[in-house]
Amino acid sequence: MSSASEGIGDAQDVLYRLVDQESGEVLLAAEDLLDYFTEEDPEPPETVTVTFVRAHQVDPARRKTERAELQVVDRQGRTIGTYFIGRASAAFRHEPGAPGADRPDLDYSFGYTCEYPRAGEIWRKWATRRPVERGEWARCPSDWHESWLHVVQTAWFESGREATRYETGGTAVIDGTGITTRDGFYCALGEAVNGPGGYFGSNLDAVFDCLRTMRRDDVAPFRLVWWNFSVSREALGSDFTERVLALFEECGVETELSPG
């Protein structure tokens, strides 16, 4: 029997593992995954076919499971993100295309896809090197922000951290010139409070939960400096920014707004 942390081949190449939750067995490990991170489908099919690219490990005796878990792993083989799949079954095995290749592509049937279309590309970046510079999310196109925030949130809780402030100073700074979407605002806020790749809510209810957790853990509220606030208000809408400020005021977060 193989566990999720043993015998997965070359961890430098593996990005995904399909694991049976009950036994911890690795059903397969692969370098990439196609057709799982997709646009939202208004009429999703009952089952979808995803392709595991260049499988490094395949257990021929376990072609299906009722409790599958998809793990995203970094270059050291550590799990950085998890998706509960439920039922998964092998559908088709592609023979290796290149002469001498020894890693087939495998089709599996899943019950659903992940509706964050850029998440796969972002996970690949994170697997190689987690964000270490401020503003990495802002250098992505604006239509990537939702997927980036999804990866941030998934990785944050996978690491065992709660929705609160961790080891940062009392002042958080965000710059409105890089914020063009509401998802981008939450990316900027998470980074300002908890550093690059940090999480501090993915909607206003979640931000409130983070602030409430701080109170529960007797963590002092931070002070927020919002540079170029007028740019944010123009991009995000005055109704949204006013609700943000009202929430901060309610939770004791002092805000300093710089118009430009």
| Domain count across the chain | 2
Residues 168-188 have pLDDT tens digits of: 678 999 999 989 999 999 999
Residues 84-138 have pLDDT tens digits of: 999 999 988 887 655 446 788 999 999 989 999 999 999 999 999 888 888 999 9
The answer for residues whose C-beta is within 8 angstroms of residue 195's C-beta and 6 or more apart is 168
Is residue 193's pLDDT more than 70?
A: yes
Given 85, 105, 120, which residue is the final one in a domain? 120
Judge whether 21 lies within some domain. Answer: yes
In degrees, to the nearest 5, what angle opens at C-alpha 237 toward C-alphas 170 and 202?
Answer: 50
In degrees, to the nearest 5, what angle opens at C-alpha 219 toward C-alphas 213 and 223?
Answer: 100
The CATH number of residue 198's host domain is 3.30.370.10
Per the structure, the complete domain to which residue 187 belongs is given by 143-257
Instruction: Please tell me the pTM assigned to this model.
Output: 0.90
Given 85, 120, 155, which residue is the final one in a domain? 120
Q: Are residues 150 and 245 located together in one domain of the fold?
A: yes
Judge whether 4 lies within some domain. Answer: no
Tokens 């080891």 -> residue: 167
Residues 138-166 have pLDDT tens digits of: 999 999 999 999 999 999 999 999 888 88
DSSP-derived 3-state class of residue 247: helix
Judge whether 133 lies within some domain. Answer: no
Judge whether 126 lies within some domain. Answer: no
Q: Which of 49, 135, 143 is nearest to 89 (CA)?
A: 49
